Amino acid sequence: MHQAVISLPLAVGLRTHLCAAGISTVFELRGKTPSFLAGAAGISLEEAQEALQAASQSSLTSEGHVAGSASALDLLAAQQPGFPGHIITFCAALDGILGGGVACGQVTEFCGVPGVGKTQIGMQLAVDAQIPTEFLGMGRGAVYIDTEGSFMVDRVVDIAAATARHVQQLAANPVFRQRPLAVAQAQSFTTESILQNIHCFRVHNVTEQIALVNVLSEYFSQNPNVCLLVVDSITFHYRQDVTDLAARARQLTRVAQDFMALAERHNVAVCLT
């Protein structure tokens, strides 16, 4: 049997809300985001974060699984398309290619010749990460690491405004009008709120890039409401600053491993260009 939620070291009222929402086991908390759990259980975002942290720190489940391990069923569930493990784009063709969207807990790399649209997709995803949960989005923020100086705020404003309009049009549909939470989320999903939740870092050389990567784990621990990391581009400074090809390959391999560990540890989607 799965470990019961009532066994977690949480306030009685919080456990009651979780059970009332149909969440009776720790297993049912896995893969949930704070914003989704808060909406589903009618609790605050802080209480949702507390519940998820308590579930993740549970040292031993009643199934005999040591914390940090995962069953094959858990791994399969994490790979299924759609909410809550993927960032959707509202583009059915692209979401289909990506298996339901850009997956959280994994690294996704977009490759192509200059001008093909890699920076565009990175900026688009920084907006899409914030699509409200009632519209099958993650409803969380994004971190954008700009190595080339190609992050264009004016373009992001256009993308954010268009995405906000699309969500508000969906909210006008009779299906969503009957759901107060969907209407409320659509009303608060504005261009300003989207821009406020994109945290951009500009790095100018390899040293700054490595230093930033080294503190990202702590950053995500302190900011659990962020679900996406975009790096545009990962190789730019290495091509300029590291002339030895073997050394460049070794350093890029290590950076890639760091990003994979970061994605898995914090269940964030890492998008590289």
| pLDDT score, position 61 | 46
| Residue after which a domain boundary falls, among 27, 42, 77 | 77
Q: pLDDT tier at 79 (50, 70, 90 boundaries)?
A: low
Domain that holds residue 142: 85-272
Q: Which of 260, 215, 257, 211 is nearest to 237 (CA)?
A: 211
CATH number at residue 49: 1.10.150
| pLDDT score, position 82 | 45
153-171 helix and 180-188 helix, angle to the nearest 10 degrees: 160
Q: Which of 72, 41, 219 is nearest to 143 (CA)?
A: 219
| pLDDT score, position 168 | 92
Q: Give the position of tokens 């995803």.
A: 125
Q: 106 near 266, Cβ under 8 Å? A: no
Say yes or no: 47 and 143 in one domain. Answer: no
pLDDT over threshold 70, residue 49? yes
User: 3-state DSSP call for residue 70?
Assistant: coil
CA of residue 17 relative to chain centroid, distance: 25
Q: pLDDT tier at 60 (50, 70, 90 boundaries)?
A: very low
State the Cα–Cα distance between residues 238 and 165, nearest whole angstrom: 39
The pTM for the full model equals 0.70
User: 3-state DSSP call for residue 95?
Assistant: helix
Say yes or no: 48 and 114 in one domain. Answer: no
Taking only the tens place, the pLDDT of each residue in 149-160 is: 999 999 999 999
| Residue 45 CB contacts under 8 Å (≥ 6 apart), including other chains | 34, 35, 38, 225
Q: Which of 229, 211, 214 is nearest to 266 (CA)?
A: 229
Say yes or no: 227 and 92 in one domain. Answer: yes
pLDDT over threshold 60, residue 120? yes
CATH number at residue 167: 3.40.50.300
| Residue after which a domain boundary falls, among 50, 77, 104 | 77
Q: pLDDT tier at 59 (50, 70, 90 boundaries)?
A: very low
Say yes or no: 33 and 97 in one domain. Answer: no
| Residue after which a domain boundary falls, among 77, 112, 137 | 77
Say yes or no: 216 and 113 in one domain. Answer: yes
pLDDT over threshold 90, residue 57? no
Q: What is the mean pLDDT of residues 207-235?
A: 92
